[in-house]
Amino acid sequence: MKTKTAYLSFNTNKKIEIIRITDQVSRVISDSGVKDGLVLVNPMHITAAVIVNDNESGLHDDYLKVLEKLVPYQSDYRHNDTGEDNAAAHIWRQLLGHQVVMPITNGKLDLGPWEQIFYFEFDGQRQKRVLVKVIGE
């Protein structure tokens, strides 16, 4: 059994930003030497999500518009009484599904035709990390 762990770093220009990270995850898999196994991609901060979906900017806008409609960023949240302004960011990341585990076959991400991995930052402009852990053989 082989494992490899890497930490991707992000410090986005905007508070809310969507970044495609498929290539960065693929590089960790190549470095691991794992031919068959799983890769966990998990944000280490709790106002961000890692999801798999389409690399289409219109759809990304749709996601944000839906989240804002369902759970407005500026609203009356008890969490924000602590001095934070990011309660909605915590909730958004849960609604989208906060992490992914993806398959590795023949040494590569085993993706469908449109599957791409994205980092969704909902409270950016500060240092954040995403853990990538490969396990397999």
Is residue 39 within 8 A of residue 25, CB to CB? The reply is yes
Q: Which of 20, 23, 36, 126 binds a copy of itself (CB under 8 A)?
A: 36
Q: Is the Cα torsion angle 33, 36, 41, 42 positive or negative in sign?
A: negative
Phi, psi of 66 (to 5 degrees): -65, -45
Q: Which stretch binds a copy of itself (CB under 8 A): 13-21, 25-33, 42-50?
A: 42-50
**Hey, what's the torsion of the CAs at 30, 32, 38, 44, to 10 degrees?**
-100
96 is a site residue for a copy of itself (CB under 8 A)? yes
Residue 23 or 62 having the CB closest to a copy of itself: 62
Asked whether position 129 contacts a copy of itself by CB under 8 A, the answer is: yes
| 114 lines the binding site for a copy of itself (CB under 8 A) | yes
- Are 7 and 40 in contact by the 8 Å Cβ rule? The answer is no
- Contacts to a copy of itself from residues 47-66, by CB under 8 A: 51-54, 56, 58-59, 61-63, 66
**Torsion angle (degrees, nearest 10) of CA 57, 62, 40, 88:** 130
Q: How far, in Å, CA of 114 to CA of 52, rounded? A: 9
Q: Which of 21, 50, 98, 117 binds a copy of itself (CB under 8 A)?
A: 98
Please report, as ranges, the residues that interact with a copy of itself according to CB under 8 A. Answer: 1, 3, 5, 36-38, 40, 42-46, 51-54, 56, 58-59, 61-63, 66, 70-71, 77-82, 87, 90-91, 93-103, 105, 110-115, 129, 131, 133, 135-137
